[in-house]
Structure 1
Amino acid sequence: MKYKLVILDWDGTVMDTVPKIVNTINTVADQYSFPRESEEKTKSIIGLSLENALETLFPEQANRSSELAATYKHVYKEVDKTPTSLFDGVEHVLKQLTDQGVKVAVATGKSRQGLNRLMEETGLAGYFVTTRTADEAESKPNPDMLNQIMSELGILPCDTVMVGDTIIDMEMARLANVDAIGVTFGVASGEQLKAAGARYITSQFAQLVDGLR
């Protein structure tokens, strides 16, 4: 295995949450009578911390970002019923990596509460040696999350890879001087991910191990 540490994004990489995020943002826009943004633009902010994402989508409402974020969390958890599930092959790959002694971590724009809830629901927590959320680090694409994880584990950038589905993830990897692998079942296309610096691209989570070799 080429890497000692694999850092995974969550939304659109480990879990199929992108449709639910888009629907939740649209519901928030409707509740406040904001015009909805295009699906492409709405998807493009996935990965940013929540308040940063809402400020980017609705810049004229930047002074209400905390209020909008609270509404988003309520809608996401209590109102929107869009189903979410792990992508095929996720647990199998996590077990493979763990069995081979590779450390696996998460770097996500989700809140700590949100990530912990999904970790518990999916039963995946035991596979990850550490995690970072938007509550503990600067928002992506700032490399703070990756730098914190590498520092905590004592692993060098040359032995680390970031796996994600967005241009934001690829940019974060570049700023942290780590390799990036792009997955095409989330937000960005293979062409977009390659242009943003992905050294390997896969359309199936189960094929991720090939890229890690």
Structure 2
Amino acid sequence: MQRFDLIIFDWDGTLMDSISKIVDCMQALAQELSIAVPTEKAVRDVIGLSMPEAMRALFPAETEATRAGWINRYKAHYQIFNATPSPLFEGVPELLTSLHGASRKLAIATGKGREGLNRILDETRLGDCFHASRCADETQSKPHPQMLHELLAELDVSPERAVMIGDSAFDLQMANNAGVAAIGVDYGTHDRETLLGVSPLAVVSHPLEILHHLR
């Protein structure tokens, strides 16, 4: 793992198996509002964007103010109404332990909001694994590179010494836009073909395969 000093992870669909719950909650929100229910593919295709951007893509006919008012209702579905567990993917604890033990800096760049990320880091007790994080409500939404630029600056790492790992094309596009290498995972939001279209170093099908590409 000599090439990269900083390893940046997306969260949903990369470290945590939460994609199905996100889809279910967004569809339940639409049912509650008596509006057209987006398809599973439509919801999966916006996972990784900030919530305002995702809402804009899914419900373009609505006003900005209307969509903004729906965000808290979506959060209620995710945090309260839907009790489906969102476990870490198999191999993730071992992956993070291995990387953390190798004295590399680890960070998170996620489409989650800060409140949601802090809550889940507390629940999983993984907060101490990461040196920094950026959330979608703190900076520009993916695939804009600002999220990565801020992490690089905070941790004093040059772009060529960092790698972004994510399950969506937005993650890999963000890395490309920031001049950062990328590795895709095909067990989350987007399939292997879609991820390969964004020119990552590799696409893996299990979290522990990531180690092979970092050595």
TM interval, short-chain normalised? over 0.9
Q: Distance in 1 between matches of 2:199 and 2:124?
A: 30
Runs of 4+ in 1 over 4 A off after TM superposition: none
C-alpha distance in 1, partners of 2:118/2:111? Answer: 13
Choose which of 85, 88, 97 in structure 2 pairs with 1:86.
88
The 1:20/1:77 distance shift into structure 2, 3 A limit, reads: same
User: How far apart, CA to CA, are the structure 1 residues paired with 2:195 and 2:34?
Assistant: 34
Secondary structure in structure 2 of the residue aligned to 1:132: strand
Q: Given that residues 167 and 196 in structure 1 are in contact (C-alpha distance below 8 angstroms), is that contact kept between their aligned partners in structure 2?
A: yes
Q: Residue 168 of structure 1: CA displacement? A: 0.6
Shift in Å at residue 82 of structure 1?
A: 2.1
In structure 2, what is the Cα distance between the partners aligned to 1:62 and 1:137?
Answer: 22
Structure 2 gaps, min length 5:
none
Tell me how far apart the structure 1 counterparts of residues 202 and 57 of structure 2 sit (CA, whole Å): 29
* Equivalent pairs, count: 213
Number of the residue aligned with 1:18? 19
Cα offset, 1:52, TM superposition:
1.1
Structure 2 partner of 1:173: 175
Distance in 1 between residues matched to 2:22 and 2:49, nearest whole Å? 12
* Pairwise CA RMSD: 0.8
Once the two structures are superposed, residues 103-131 of structure 1 have per-residue CA deviations (whole angstroms, 9 ceiling, x without a partner) of 10000010100000000000100100001
* 1:204 matches 2:202: no
The 5-angstrom pairing of residues 79-118 of structure 1 reads: 79-118=81-120
Q: Say if 1:10 and 1:106, in contact at 8 Å, map to a contact too.
A: yes
Deviation at 1:153, TM superposition (A): 0.7
**1:62 Cα deviation from its structure 2 partner:** 3.2
For residues 174 and 56 of structure 1, the distance between their equivalents in structure 2, rounded to whole angstroms, comes to 22
Shift of residue 34 of structure 1?
1.2
Gaps of 5+ in 1: none
Alpha-carbon distance in structure 2 between the residues aligned to 1:94 and 1:136 = 24
Deviations 1:42-96 (Å, cap 9, x if unpaired)? 1000001111101110011133121111110111101012221000111111111
Give the Cα–Cα distance (whole angstroms) in 2 for the partners of residues 37 and 180 of structure 1. Answer: 30
Counterpart residue number, 1:35: 36
Q: Indicate conservation of the 8 Å contact 1:11/1:108, yes or no.
A: yes
Provide TM-score, normalisation by structure 2. Answer: 0.97
Q: Secondary structure at the match of 1:20?
A: helix
Task: State the alpha-carbon separation in 2 of the partners of residues 207 and 175 from structure 1.
Answer: 25
- Residue 61 (structure 1) aligns with: 62
